[in-house]
A and B are shown apart, each in its own frame.
Chain A
Amino acid sequence: MSLSDTAVPPAGGPSGLPDEPPARKSSPSAVTKELIAKAGATRRRAGAKFKIRTGVICTLLVVVPIVLAAFLPLPDPSHQDLAQRLLPPLSEGHLFGTDQLGRDLLSRILHGGQVSLTIGVLAVLVSGTIGIIFGAAAGYFGGKLDSVVSRLIEAQMSLPLLMMLLLVVALFGPSIPVITFVIAIAQWPEVARLTRSMVLVEREKPYVSAARILGLHRVQILIQHVIPNVIKQATLVVLLLLAQAVLLESALAFLGAGPQRPFATWGRIISDGQDYLTTAWWLVTVPGLVIAIMVVGVNLLGDGLRDRPRRKKKGA
Chain B
Amino acid sequence: MTKYILKRLGQGLLTVFLTVSTVFILVRLAPGDPAVAYAGPLATTEELAKVRAQFGLDLPLIQQYWIFLQQLFTGNLGTSYSFQAPAIQVVLERLPYTLTLATASILLTAVVAIPLGVWMSRRPDTKKEFGVNVLTIAGQSMPDFWTGIMLLTFFAVLIPIFPASGFATWSALVLPTVTIAILQIALISRMVRREMTTNFAAPYLTVARSRGVRNSLLTWRYAMGNSAIPVFTALGTRFAAMLNGVVVVEVVFAWPGVGSLIVRALETRDYPLIVATVLVTALLAVGVQLLIDLAYPLLDPRIRLGKAATA
Contacts and interface: CB of A to CB of B under 8 A. Distances in A.
A47 to B, nearest CB: 5
B282 A171 contact: no
Nearest to A172: B30
Interface in B29-44: 30-32
A277 interface: yes
A231 B281 CA distance: 36
Contacts of A157: 237
Given A163-B247, A274-B149, A251 B144 contact: yes
Contact of A288 (B149, B248, B282): B149
A243 B143 CA distance: 10
A243 B266 CA distance: 27
Query: Top 9 A-B pairs ranked by shortest CB distance?
Result: A171-B30, A288-B146, A160-B244, A295-B141, A40-B125, A170-B266, A296-B141, A43-B125, A254-B145
A299 B137 contact: yes
**Secondary structure at chain A's binding surface: helix, strand, loop or mixed?**
helix
A166 B262 contact: yes
B245 A161 contact: yes
B274 A167 contact: yes
Given A170-B266, A277-B157, A288-B150, A163 B278 contact: yes
Interface residues of A, number: 46
Interface of A: 40-41, 43-44, 47, 51, 155, 157-164, 166-168, 170-173, 243, 247, 250-251, 254-256, 267, 270-271, 274, 277-278, 281, 284-285, 288, 291-292, 295-296, 299-300, 303
A95 to B, nearest CB: 20
Contacts, number: 134
A292 B145 contact: no
**Secondary structure at chain B's binding surface: helix, strand, loop or mixed?**
helix
B273 to A, nearest CB: 12
A157 B144 CA distance: 20
B228 interface: no
B105 to A, nearest CB: 15
A80 to B, nearest CB: 24
A296 B145 contact: no
Contacts of B285: 158-160
B263 interface: yes
A159 B289 CA distance: 11
B142 interface: yes
Contacts of A250: 143, 145
Given A47-B130, A163-B245, A292 B143 contact: yes
Interface string B133-147: 110011011111110
Contacts of A278: 157
Given A47-B130, A158-B286, A163-B245, A288 B267 contact: no
A247 B157 contact: no
A132 B88 CA distance: 40
